[in-house]
Structure 1
Amino acid sequence: MPGEKFIIKLADNATPFCVSTPRKIPFAYTDKLKIELTLLETQGIIKNTIEHSDWCAPIVITPKKNTNKIRILLSIGYVLMQLHSDGTWKTVQAGSRHLSDTETRYAVIELELLGVEWAAQKCYNFLEGLPKWIKGKEKLRADALSRHPHEPPNTSDELAEQPIVNGDHVDEAPTISAIRSVADSPKDDQTRLFQVWKSSNTENQYQELKRLIINGFPESKKDLPDHLKKYWCVHPDLSVDQDLIVYGCRLLIPTSLCQTIMQKFHHGHPGIRRAQDRARMIVYWPGIDTDIEACINDCQFCQDHLSMNSKEQLIQKLKPSRPFQEIAADLHTLTVKTT
């Protein structure tokens, strides 16, 4: 690799990280991947071997913007350097880690932000009040560290997979903004998200479902407890983000809060269709459409102001006053002849 020379040393207590199931590579990227791996081998960054290794991590392939090349992602790394009086830069702190299973599915821009946020968290005592961003391709040490991580991610590293609690409220996660659409103000936004988080921690069914999502659902629906079978049809799309369950991009609401959230969608008496359309964009619970319809049908104000589309009356034709006054004929086929 061009640039300054350096040596990467593993910590004494570093434990091997290995995955047994390789990630699938899109067929369209196969030739480009071979070219990229050959280039890395030529530069001495990697080497081809047939020997067994205790260190093995999956790679993620993404296309580079506005080019015909690909980017190989393995992990994230950082280097904190300090400018000394003699004009030289010296390393203060450095680190790297593998990507979690969730992080391997991030977009490139999300991975770049993840690297910045993780590095800032690790170097918080040095960086507070001194923000500065340098592209990875301009810092070869950090780029090299990201290609040779020495530790798997721990709980504190997985920034997008843990709740962020500050005092008496939960900071809003970048990917969970659904509750914002039913909030009346920024303050109400934080309050309602905290209510969802607090209710989820005290509801046994919610916690049991969360454990199933993390550990995996059983092979058959009949192996689920009866109170969780209603989630079977949507379980492939359920995930845990910031200690809350999401269904795609929709926030799963605990049972104890369904009525409260439903009243927010009913506010202003928008009608069944509009309330359902609004709810489908941001929140979810089993039977949400039926519950919203029942809620609005029970609203006396909505029923009093319901638009009535009266049926059109049947128009009766006058009876003919003489024979053959009106003649009608039907075209039909009988024994391959048209009559």
Structure 2
Amino acid sequence: MVLADTLSRLPNTDDYTEILLDVRVDGVDMHDIYDLNIDLINFGTTKKHQLKAETSAYPTLNMLREIIHTGWPEKVKSVTPVLRSYWPFRDELAVEDSIIFKGRQVVIPEKLHAGILSQLHLSHQGIEKTRKLARESVYWPQISKDIEKHVRSCSSCQELHPQHKREPLTPHEVPVSPWHKLGTDLFQIKENTSY
């Protein structure tokens, strides 16, 4: 970003001329980014229209859009209970063209969760890699748990998942008094038995 830091240029109280800043990031005009819909690059045209329609039809997301526009209250207790899961990152939320964003992630309406989960897990990469992929583009409350549940219910993944079962512990009888039963580890090195 090409912006001078404010402390290096103290304001002159005698001169009131306005200095226009060139708002550019790595040679790209910031206004062009919004025209390109770069935040929705992972969504096709049909999916974008479906996303807008479902976001408008979902009452919780309508309330969320309204609170983003009007401003969040000072305390979490003042927020409607259904919106409290958005409180920790309220400063990251924005609305662009009727779609809610959490940073660069698109907030997905509940009706589209199953389809998005299927697309995220299309390559059967496992729980952590599916979560990582989701963090790059989509968000909804409890997405991490939904991904885990979806991957664990995937028959292909469960069939090919390596089976690493733990050896069960073999308990022994509890001695009736101290020093009644002793145990030691035996091992052998170069045919010498040691204790």
Band the TM-score falls in, shorter-chain normalisation: 0.7 to 0.9
The aligned counterpart of 2:158 is 303
**1:107 shift after superposition:** 3.4
| Residue 72 of structure 1 pairs with residue 50 of structure 2 | no
Question: Aligned to 2:79, which of 205, 221, 224?
Answer: 224
In the alignment, the residues of structure 2 paired with residue 318 and residue 303 of structure 1 have an alpha-carbon distance, to the nearest angstrom, of 39
Determine helix, strand or coil for the equivalent of 1:34: coil
In the alignment, the residues of structure 2 paired with residue 287 and residue 107 of structure 1 have an alpha-carbon distance, to the nearest angstrom, of 37
Question: Aligned to 2:24, which of 76, 88, 108?
Answer: 108
In the alignment, the residues of structure 2 paired with residue 224 and residue 318 of structure 1 have an alpha-carbon distance, to the nearest angstrom, of 64
**1:178 shift after superposition:** 4.8
Which residues of structure 1 form unaligned runs of 5+? 1-24, 47-58, 60-70, 74-105, 118-158, 161-171, 181-188, 328-339
Which residues of structure 2 form unaligned runs of 5+? 170-183
Runs of 4+ in 1 over 6 A off after TM superposition: none
Contact 2:106 2:137 in 1 (8 A): yes
**1:308 shift after superposition:** 2.2
1:72 maps to amino acid: L
**1:286 shift after superposition:** 0.9
In the alignment, the residues of structure 1 paired with residue 150 and residue 109 of structure 2 have an alpha-carbon distance, to the nearest angstrom, of 18
1:112/1:296 CA distance change after superposition, 3 Å:
closer
Question: Aligned to 1:34, which of 12, 21, 25?
Answer: 12
Measured against aligned partners, the alpha-carbon deviations of 1:32-71 in whole angstroms (never above 9, x if no partner) come to x539x84xx6xxxx4xxxxxxxxxxxx7xxxxxxxxxxx5
**1:200 shift after superposition:** 0.8
The aligned counterpart of 2:125 is 270
TM-score by length of 1: 0.44
Alignment of 1:79-228 (within 5 A): 107-108=23-24, 114=31, 160=34, 173-180=36-43, 189-228=44-83
1:211/1:30 CA distance change after superposition, 3 Å:
same
Contact 1:251 1:283 in 2 (8 A): yes
| Residue 253 of structure 1 pairs with residue 108 of structure 2 | yes
Measured against aligned partners, the alpha-carbon deviations of 1:83-135 in whole angstroms (never above 9, x if no partner) come to xxxxxxxxxxxxxxxxxxxxxxx933599564xx8xxxxxxxxxxxxxxxxxx
1:219/1:113 CA distance change after superposition, 3 Å:
closer
User: What is the percentage of aligned positions where both structures have the same residue?
Assistant: 23
Determine helix, strand or coil for the equivalent of 2:163: coil
Determine helix, strand or coil for the equivalent of 1:251: strand
1:313/1:203 CA distance change after superposition, 3 Å:
closer
In the alignment, the residues of structure 2 paired with residue 281 and residue 263 of structure 1 have an alpha-carbon distance, to the nearest angstrom, of 16
1:111/1:313 CA distance change after superposition, 3 Å:
closer
The aligned counterpart of 1:242 is 97
**1:28 shift after superposition:** 2.3
Contact 1:200 1:206 in 2 (8 A): yes
In the alignment, the residues of structure 2 paired with residue 272 and residue 178 of structure 1 have an alpha-carbon distance, to the nearest angstrom, of 24
In the alignment, the residues of structure 1 paired with residue 167 and residue 75 of structure 2 have an alpha-carbon distance, to the nearest angstrom, of 51
Contact 1:206 1:254 in 2 (8 A): yes
1:211 maps to amino acid: E
Alignment of 1:14-29 (within 5 A): 26-29=5-8
**1:221 shift after superposition:** 1.1
Contact 1:196 1:254 in 2 (8 A): yes
In the alignment, the residues of structure 1 paired with residue 41 and residue 28 of structure 2 have an alpha-carbon distance, to the nearest angstrom, of 22
